[in-house]
Each structure stands twice: as structure tokens, then as C-alpha cells.
């Protein structure tokens, strides 16, 4: 299963092309660290607003420091890029859509 990630404005307009992750979401569930990653999963949707993005980015960066797999590193780099871009925009939301169907 995959998780599709978009960067959107408050009207739901897409600000950057959707990306998908298929390798790293298994690392999110069950973590006791932080406040964001534990809520991202294949079977549910999740979003962060522009004020939450720096904190979510810090959790992704901490995870990236521990990950050795190149595919997982690549997916984390994509997410981190979207976090940084969203932090620069007004009323931006990073949305994670679980591919539950």
C-alpha cells in the first residue's frame, strides 16, 4: 500500500505535484517519539498546517538520521522538501492520504 502526499492551500488547491511513498510508512506506526509520525498510516488521512510543519519536519529529519535504506532515504528527502516548501507558503497544508482501498 502507498500513502499519497500533497501540498495544498486552504482551498484544497494543489501547490505541488502529488508524491507517493511505499517504503517508509511502516516506520511511522508504533513510534513513541514525537507527535506527528505516529498518526500517518496506510489506512487513514492526516494533515499538518504551516505552523505544525517545522515540528513534523524535525521528526522526519530525526527518522532520516536513523534510516540506512536508500529507498527510504529518498522518500524522506521528498517529504522533507515538501515540508520546507510548505513552511515558506501562506496557509499551506501537507496532506497524507492513505491508500486504503
pLDDT digits (tens, 9 = 90+) for 23-50: 988 888 766 667 888 888 888 899 999 9
Is residue 53 within 8 A of residue 87, CB to CB? The reply is: yes
Q: Is the dihedral of CA 65, 69, 72, 73 positive or negative?
A: positive
Question: In the 8-state DSSP scheme, what is residue 59?
Answer: H
**Structural domains of the chain, count:** 1
- pLDDT attached to residue 43: 86
CA distance 86 to 66: 24
More reliable by pLDDT, 18 or 26? 18
Phi, psi for 48 (deg, rounded to 5)? -125, 135
SS3 57: helix
Boundaries of domain holding 11: 3-98
CA 75 to chain centre: 9
Amino acid at each position: 500500500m502507498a500513502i499519497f502526499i500533497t501540498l495544498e492551500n486552504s482551498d484544497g488547491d494543489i501547490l505541488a505535484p502529488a508524491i507517493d511513498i511505499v517504503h517508509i510508512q511502516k516506520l511511522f506506526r508504533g513510534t513513541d517519539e514525537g507527535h506527528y509520525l505516529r498518526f500517518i498510516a496506510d489506512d487513514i488521512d492526516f494533515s499538518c498546517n504551516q505552523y505544525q510543519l517545522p515540528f513534523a519536519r524535525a521528526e522526519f529529519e530525526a527518522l532520516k538520521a536513523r534510516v540506512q535504506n536508500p529507498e527510504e532515504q529518498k522518500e524522506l528527502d521528498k517529504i522533507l522538501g515538501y515540508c520546507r516548501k510548505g513552511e515558506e507558503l501562506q496557509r499551506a497544508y501537507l496532506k497524507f492520504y492513505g491508500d486504503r482501498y
